[in-house]
Structure 1
Amino acid sequence: MYKYYRILIFIALFTTINSFSQKKTLEANFNAKGIVIDGRPDDTGWTENKNIASNFIMFDPDNGKPISENKKTEVKVSYDNDAIYILATLYDDEPNKIQREITNRDVFGVSDHFSVNINGYNDSQQDFRFYVSAAGVQMDCIATEAEEDYSWDAIWDSKVAITNYGWVVEMKIPYAALRFSRAEKQVWGINFKREIKRDIQTYTWNHVDTKIGAVLTQAGILEGIENIKPPTRLFFIPYTSTYYQQDDITSDRTFKAGLDIKYGINDSFTLDAILIPDFGQTKFDNAILYLDPFEQKLEENRPFFTEGTNLFNIGNLFYSRRIGGFPSREPTVSDSEQITEYPSTVNLLNAVKVSGRTENGLGIGFLNAVTKKTYATIEGTTVDSFNNQQQTSRKEVIEPLANYNLIVLDQRFNGNSSVSFVNANTTRNGDFRDANASALVFDLSTKANTYNLYGDFKYSTVNDIENYDGFKTALNFAKTSGQYRYTVSGKYISSNYDINDLGLVFYTNYHNALVNGSYRILNPTKYFNTFKIEQELNLELQNTTGKMQEGWYKTLIKARTKKNHYMEFALVLNPFETYDFYEPRVAGRYLQIPKRLSSYFGMEFNRNNAFTFDFTPSIAVYDQDDRITYGLAVGPKYRFNDKFSLYFVMDYSKRKNDRGWVGFDDTGIVIGQRDREILQNDLTGKYAINKKMTINLTARYYWSYSDNKRFWSLQDDGTVVADPTFNLNKNRNFNSFNADLSYSWWFAPGSELSILYRNYSQESANVVERNISQNLKNLFGTNQTNILSISVRYFIDYNRLKN
């Protein structure tokens, strides 16, 4: 008898495990009687639909645990000739505790959420994900295994209702927002997710095993959709905007109008074009006191270059701020001339991109942009034969008409692997610099997503006064599943590898080896919901000299407690002297960097609480002349209610006896020993009038100084000796202030009215001022720039116009 019990137990256990690992299937019903999106489940189209997706399974934190009866979730799917409809009934035994903060679109906030992931080709390559919060706010993205792109925005409808048994979500997703084949019978990949914010739990319909590194391969199946046709995807977004700018010297009025076009070339590919671009209301760049040997890397805030660009990021050859960025040449000036006008940016004339993925998994991306010829103004004096002085003025081209071109081919297969080719080209008119960079990238995973092999080979060419080429190659092998995981990687970059005409690279001419091992818990313990510890060894050697450019051992611990507090700790040991080949600003020279130990500890208290707080102290100790760096970042946030919240961040750091390049003299390269302080304060405020209307405040004050106490002459071996003859003032004191106050109203699907008031100013001097109040007085005593702008964008769907 005991033998039969064991057999029965084994069968039951196998059935349970198998039910988690197999794909669930849901049948969609044809909606012949109409569904009104009002958050009510009593339409005939729903009551007659008996196909229900239920039995959700916990994704996080206790992966694999079935959902409780008092939180059961039931989902139905219907369709018609225009759209797919989803009804989700989310039971909750305490509906008054459902979290529902109102946020801007694509901002999750402190809310419960329901989402659907749809893959129209069922190929595990790319999801279209649609989220709705319990406050009715929409979020959407295009997702691959590598990233979620929330800059993509679709036009779809949803409605939420809070009930005495939980809450209800209705969604209508037009076929124009999806991609699928023209097959008579459709088979889609689908999964549903529910997040219960106060319990810190998420559940999925089809079980997603976190022991496996891939998520897209673990979706369920949607069947029953028949005889639908992909619609014409043609959208026009005309805009008009007006600006009034005023400072202490002058004022200016500007009016702009333009058009964005989105066109579905076929079932898979979309063309995006901007005619007469306007980026006047994009977020401001953070001005800082920048003393590093490289250019400052800036975030991309222009919508065209952030929306739907996941394909273009493959291979890391594309840095979109190159397009319309800083001019590429400085004018030639005689002793009697000076540059009176030098534009800091180049105007964009137009841009177009085509992207998509075929049903066979081939992703194709094409981006082209053209920038305007740009001039600098140079004024001077000349003396004629009668010794009379005359004023002269001339213009010189500092950036010609330029074309930027990017092509990406990304073939995905087996649901988790890909091989990609990328080519980035910059062509400038005339005798200006041209460049090209190509990359072959592969990312291969085993069928069970247990191991991964990733690598690339990149080749760059530059045509300038001197032509040169270079290459970069890397190979990485990783175990990507289970409690214990590891990565082994190597990389080689030649000295002339240069992708900086359309990409961004700082460090070249080195090779490295890296080993990383990690352990994580897969299910909650007594104290932690999640816990991970990593150990990493990295070694970088400069190719020409063989000297160590980097060498560290790092321990990193990340954990989230049962009460949803997040902690992160890192300890980095650099036990060897290393060499900086970039700080001296002269090829072939280098500065010795001493041994050092650095660490930080970050604590973020439960974000679900009305008042929350985070702080991160950090320190780095150098084996050199009382050299030390320490800092503290703190960030209190208070959510007054579901509409109004304020978030303040103060980030402070002090670098004592720091060393860096300051200039040149007769002895050669001069290194300054300096104290530096950096203080940045950010204030973010949000008031949501409703889910379509918000008022937002973003304010930033930044102050930093560099105070040189002594100067050194850099020696050939990277060490320094005192340079008593250098006496130039190389101190810096820099203040910057920005404030944006905006009102946004989504008055129709995809259509927005935006009003923005912007104020900014900055002040720079070579006299260090350590008093904050005096710095603020100096800053606000300078020329303040004020801008008021109003912009209206209106979304037009060709299908509605046609009907």
Structure 2
Amino acid sequence: MKAIVFFTILLCSFYSFSQKKSLEAKSTPHSISIDGKLDEPAWEEAATASDFIVFEPDNGKPAPYGKRTEVKVLYNNDAIYIGAIMYDDEPNKVLKEISQRDNFGTADLFGVFINGFNDGQQNFQFFVSAADVQGDCIMTDAIGEDYSWDAIWLSKAKLTKEGWIVEMKIPYAALRFSDQNKQTWGINFFREIKRERKKYTWNLIDTKIGTFTQQNGNLEGIENIKPPTRLFFMPYASHYLNAADGQKTYGTMKGGMDIKYGINDAFTLDAILIPDFGQAKYDDQILNLGPFEQQFNENRAFFTEGTDLFNKGNMFYSRRIGGKPSIDPDLNDNEEITETVQSVNLINALKVSGRTKAGLGVGILNAITEKTYATIKDTLTGETRSAIIEPLTNYNVLVLDQRFRKNSSVSLINTNVTRNGHFRDANVTGVAWDLNTKANTYNLSGNVKYSNINELEVKKGFYSAIGFAETSGNYRYSVGTDFVSKDFDPNDLGINFYTNYYNFYGNANYRILNPTKLLNKFRINYNMYTEFNRESGKLQDNSFNTNFNLTTKQNNYYAAGFTVWPTEIYDYYEPRADNRYVAIPRKFDSWASISTNYNYKFALDLNPSVTFYDQSGRMSYGFDVGPRYRFSDKLLLTYTFSFFRRNNNKGYIDAVEQDNGNSPDNIIFANRNVITYSNTLGGKYAINSTMTLNLAVRQYWSYAENKDILELQPNGTLTPNSTYTTNKNSSFYSWNADLSYSWWFAPGSQVSVLYRNSASNFERVIDKQFKDNVSHLLTNDALKHIFSVSVKYFIDYNAIKNKIRNRG
């Protein structure tokens, strides 16, 4: 009998957790004041969503009564309203650090996930912290959470004697839904109790299933609402004061406007007119000794917001637009470049994106950059001339992404760069697929890409990849292979470093899905990777790796791993010449990572690593150490010191042409020590939830000191060279400091004040006095100062229309 009762309870529990919950939204004709009080009569009449379930760490367990959550939903002709009460049996322990938008720091959190089409494809997620800080993002299973998306909505959080309360107003213009008279939306509610590192949801999100967006509950009762006209204007004005040592201060004024227009209930047009990216975060430049360019993060809002469609197939690298000029001008004898630019000006850009009811996603991005010149001077005559370093250029991206069965997709992607005149044009087309079984237990993914470059001659290349994975349960695995031809080149609007190879790889891993007595999370991985040069068949890579990561009951994070290359491999990229390679000896790499619980006022990050080579005296080692201290809910300081040293590193420094002009160049390497230091300081002082002061400082110095000159032999070995005498030592040091003030004075409207000073220098002579390097950098003519003020104002067409209507 007891067994039958137990089985019945278990079955009922499983049934209740595995079924979608439903909540009835209440229509109200009255206005709702967003003050965090929930004192309007309509709130009393609305149905309540309760009985939250643990999402992490103990997935599937009911929330304790002392931490219960109750949520109600209202709606009218303009917006949907969310009222939530977060009970806490220790209300004085609710964490409430004030932070910037989309960065919640150490604070409790409430969120609502809304899918107006209830198709399991995409959630619009809105969060409010206990410190009254907003955050929002778009969530898809393929991309994850995209916090670059910002909507315009209202919220208020208030602490109470029983916990805290959130009240939210989300205008329909911030959502996507159909024009049907009766609608059922997908919805879920989220709560995080930060001090316990526990997360709860209203409808169960089963972590054994490899999907997030398909596990919403249902919101019923929404009737007779219509998608509004989504037309927004964001005019801005900026003023810049620029100064450098030895130069007069000068000012510039900029103005422009961004436009967002909802073409229909699914598609949105974003346009940027007269762009201004002067306040974008600086790039963390490094001493780059390798054969490939340094890849930078995108810091311009237009190219980060809502770009999940454009990332399909990994073919779009937005920093190409408005990046470095693509042409090196030909110089005659005794000529030098006296004036040039580091980045090409963007004239304008637009993008159209959205998804139809049938699951077809369409993304179109177009941008135009201006014709750009460099000034070249004859050092003997003093005469100057102009040379084109970038013609008028059009960039275009087209993506068609068909989703089906709510969890699978096939995409067609095309990128095209057209340069005016006889300059290089590029076209790349790809097909990508991401296929999941109905139960989200297995995945088949891959892509095929084809590049066509039209320069002095046409160059065509091919790329293909396919992978298979088990994506659910404690034990999971994946296998795959890639094939890349020598001439595959997507780099006019994408980024790809390695070509002319094929590989095979695999992964097996184990994770716990629920906490144990000692651990909240644990995962261990085994990886193997083998890569061959496509033409010679030589091993370019051959390694296996084991690593683990875990989170303790005290929410401290630990991880470690090692990688072994058991055989000699051959690097075809470092020599910078066709069909040449350098032999890399066997090596062993190990690393560790510690990150203590950020809930404490003081926390520490530590990341040491070391690599041993099967070659006399050759090794690498280094570490990052990052203490952080939260002085109060308003003030936080972080600091990171990084050190990395490579002893007896072997690297390319030059290629010397043979006297007869017919033989291959002599490729010169150096046996060198490479040492890198960096110091990074970050600070935040929050005046309130809409006003913050931020500090970001980075000092970087890296140098490569050549000890022996070597010559690369045809068999990949290096032998001493006594004839090459050019100094190819390298020393690069840089300084960046940003002090900024940000004030969101109205929804979507912001005042930003920024003071920035920066400098960088590259030298062949190495001064090993750390203090002298830094002081010289801060006192020489390279130090630049920028002071800027930018005002952006959000204008909603619907608000203007309603005001005019009310006055009438």
Asked whether 1:170 is paired with 2:161, we answer: no
- Of residues 299, 304, 310, the one that matches 1:301 is 299
- Of residues 223, 236, 241, the one that matches 1:244 is 241
Distance 2:453 2:639 in 1: 45
In structure 2, the partner of 1:74 is 70
* Cα drift, residue 200 of structure 1: 1.1
- Of residues 749, 754, 763, the one that matches 2:752 is 754
* Cα drift, residue 778 of structure 1: 2.0
SS at match of 1:186: strand
Which of 324-333 and 450-459 deviates more?
A: 324-333
SS at match of 1:657: strand
* Cα drift, residue 286 of structure 1: 1.4
Q: Amino acid of the residue matched to residue 135 of structure 1?
A: A
Instruction: Give a deviation string over 1:645-690, Cα, whole Å, max 9, x none.
Output: 0000111100000010011235700110000111111100000000
Q: Amino acid of the residue matched to residue 101 of structure 1?
A: E
| Counterparts of residues 275-290 of structure 1 (less than 5 Å) | 275-290=273-288
RMSD: 1.0
SS at match of 2:799: helix
In structure 2, the partner of 1:614 is 605
In structure 2, the partner of 1:543 is 534
SS at match of 1:529: strand
Asked whether 1:802 is paired with 2:798, we answer: no
* Cα drift, residue 7 of structure 1: 3.3
Distance 1:478 1:341 in 2: 53
Asked whether 1:227 is paired with 2:224, we answer: yes
Q: Is the 8 A contact 2:514 2:521 kept in 1?
A: yes
Distance 1:128 1:223 in 2: 17
* Cα drift, residue 361 of structure 1: 1.3
- Of residues 775, 778, 781, the one that matches 1:780 is 778
In structure 2, the partner of 1:17 is 14
| Counterparts of residues 662-681 of structure 1 (less than 5 Å) | 662-665=653-656, 666=658, 668-681=666-679
Distance 2:6 2:743 in 1: 59
Distance 2:757 2:245 in 1: 13
In structure 1, the partner of 2:314 is 316
* Cα drift, residue 592 of structure 1: 0.7
* Cα drift, residue 774 of structure 1: 1.6
- Of residues 198, 203, 206, the one that matches 1:206 is 203
Distance 1:745 1:6 in 2: 62
Which of 651-660 and 335-344 deviates more?
A: 335-344
SS at match of 1:585: coil
Q: Is the 8 A contact 1:366 1:406 kept in 2?
A: yes
* Cα drift, residue 764 of structure 1: 2.3
Distance 1:657 1:338 in 2: 35
Q: Amino acid of the residue matched to residue 10 of structure 1?
A: F
Aligned length: 792
- Of residues 45, 48, 63, the one that matches 2:45 is 48
Which residues of structure 1 form unaligned runs of 5+?
Answer: 383-389
Instruction: Give a deviation string over 1:523-557, Cα, whole Å, max 9, x none.
Output: 11111100000001110101011011111100010
Distance 2:755 2:300 in 1: 18
* Cα drift, residue 768 of structure 1: 1.7
Asked whether 1:522 is paired with 2:516, we answer: no
* Cα drift, residue 308 of structure 1: 0.9
Asked whether 1:27 is paired with 2:24, we answer: yes
Which of 211-220 and 31-40 deviates more?
A: 31-40
Q: Amino acid of the residue matched to residue 433 of structure 1?
A: R
Which of 777-786 and 145-154 deviates more?
A: 777-786
Distance 1:614 1:329 in 2: 43
In structure 2, the partner of 1:386 is none
* Cα drift, residue 766 of structure 1: 1.4
In structure 2, the partner of 1:385 is none
* Cα drift, residue 9 of structure 1: 2.9
TM, length-normalised to structure 1: 0.98
Distance 1:8 1:450 in 2: 32
| Counterparts of residues 485-524 of structure 1 (less than 5 Å) | 485-524=476-515
In structure 2, the partner of 1:154 is 151
Distance 2:773 2:571 in 1: 33
* Cα drift, residue 331 of structure 1: 1.3
Q: Is the 8 A contact 2:547 2:561 kept in 1?
A: yes
* Cα drift, residue 482 of structure 1: 0.3
SS at match of 1:406: strand
Instruction: Give a deviation string over 1:320-372, Cα, whole Å, max 9, x none.
Output: 01001111111122113222122221111000001111122111100000000
In structure 2, the partner of 1:122 is 118
SS at match of 2:173: helix
Instruction: Give a deviation string over 1:114-145, Cα, whole Å, max 9, x none.
Output: 00000011111000000000000000001100
Q: Is the 8 A contact 2:336 2:379 kept in 1?
A: no
* Cα drift, residue 32 of structure 1: 2.3
In structure 2, the partner of 1:435 is 426
Asked whether 1:99 is paired with 2:95, we answer: yes
Q: Is the 8 A contact 1:402 1:426 kept in 2?
A: yes
Q: Is the 8 A contact 2:592 2:609 kept in 1?
A: yes
* Cα drift, residue 698 of structure 1: 0.4
In structure 1, the partner of 2:644 is 653
Q: Is the 8 A contact 1:763 1:782 kept in 2?
A: no
Q: Is the 8 A contact 1:576 1:594 kept in 2?
A: yes
Instruction: Give a deviation string over 1:223-278, Cα, whole Å, max 9, x none.
Output: 10000000000000000001010111223211111011011011001101111100
Q: Amino acid of the residue matched to residue 527 of structure 2?
A: E
Q: Amino acid of the residue matched to residue 98 of structure 2?
A: I
In structure 2, the partner of 1:405 is 396
- Of residues 745, 752, 757, the one that matches 2:743 is 745
Distance 2:188 2:334 in 1: 71
* Cα drift, residue 381 of structure 1: 6.4
In structure 2, the partner of 1:387 is none
In structure 1, the partner of 2:709 is 711
Deviating 4+ runs (over 6 angstroms): none
Q: Is the 8 A contact 1:180 1:359 kept in 2?
A: no
Distance 2:550 2:520 in 1: 8
Q: Percent identity?
A: 55
SS at match of 1:76: strand
Which of 738-747 and 285-294 deviates more?
A: 285-294
In structure 1, the partner of 2:662 is none
Distance 1:100 1:637 in 2: 17
Instruction: Give a deviation string over 1:172-203, Cα, whole Å, max 9, x none.
Output: 10000000011111111111110001111000
Distance 2:728 2:7 in 1: 77
In structure 1, the partner of 2:724 is 726
Distance 1:461 1:216 in 2: 37
Instruction: Give a deviation string over 1:376-426, Cα, whole Å, max 9, x none.
Output: 1112268xxxxxxx5422111111100000001111111111111100000
Q: Is the 8 A contact 1:762 1:782 kept in 2?
A: no
Distance 1:32 1:355 in 2: 34
* Cα drift, residue 750 of structure 1: 0.5
SS at match of 2:12: helix
Distance 1:82 1:30 in 2: 11
In structure 2, the partner of 1:335 is 333
Q: Is the 8 A contact 1:34 1:45 kept in 2?
A: no
Q: Is the 8 A contact 2:205 2:212 kept in 1?
A: yes
Q: Amino acid of the residue matched to residue 233 of structure 2?
A: F
Q: Is the 8 A contact 1:33 1:44 kept in 2?
A: no
Distance 2:410 2:667 in 1: 46
Distance 1:92 1:772 in 2: 52
Instruction: Give a deviation string over 1:684-713, Cα, whole Å, max 9, x none.
Output: 000000011100000000011100000111
Distance 1:248 1:774 in 2: 18
